[in-house]
Amino acid sequence: MVTDRRIPVLGVSLAAAGILLIALGAAFGSSPGSPSSQAGPWGFGPGGMMGFGAANVSSAADPGSSGFVAGTTSAPRVVRIIASNALRFYPDVVTVKAGETVTFEVTTMGMRSHEFMVGPASDVAADMAGTPEVADIAMMQTKSLTYTFNGPGPFAFACHATGHYEAGMRGTITALP
């Protein structure tokens, strides 16, 4: 039998748990390169209510930021990308230095399988054969692709699984001099 003293304790415990969840969502809900105004598939920011998954997806400083070190062929800079069930990439804008080598670590969050293609924007948009890509990135799986940004650009990335590109599953890459 529940006594009258246990009901206030239960209420306080539930309120504390709610505050903890809100604090975690605020702490992990956004990251550099993922503006807080960019709503994710559930409307709580790029990582969902708790922010896990898309928070802090870029593991290294971007060009122009303090601490930035350009990736090389022997030591590429790692950029983490989330492929969501809502047919979006997070982040969907990546900044690189011209000539830089980047390893994209792409993780699928959700039930759908995705692919990741990167290269010159016109080749990516046309799903041109020979453009670097990794295919069949299944649920909770991570695959990587390393690319050197030579040439004038513009550059892009996309998923060409059936209907995904048409639904907006693509991103842009800005190459700074």
Q: Which tens digits make up the pLDDT trace of 49-101? A: 333 444 445 566 778 788 888 888 999 999 999 999 999 999 999 999 999 99
* 28 belongs to a structural domain: no
* 45 belongs to a structural domain: no
Q: What is the rounded average pLDDT of the residues 136-153?
A: 94
For the question of whether the overall pTM of this predicted structure is more than 0.75, the answer is: no
Residue 81 belongs to domain spanning: 55-176
Say which CATH number the domain at 170 has: 2.60.40.420
Number of domains in the chain: 1
DSSP code for 73: S
Q: How far does Cα 164 stand from its chain's mean position?
A: 16
| Predicted pLDDT of residue 48 | 44
Residues in the chain: 177
* 11 belongs to a structural domain: no
Q: Is the dihedral of CA 91, 97, 99, 102 positive or negative?
A: negative
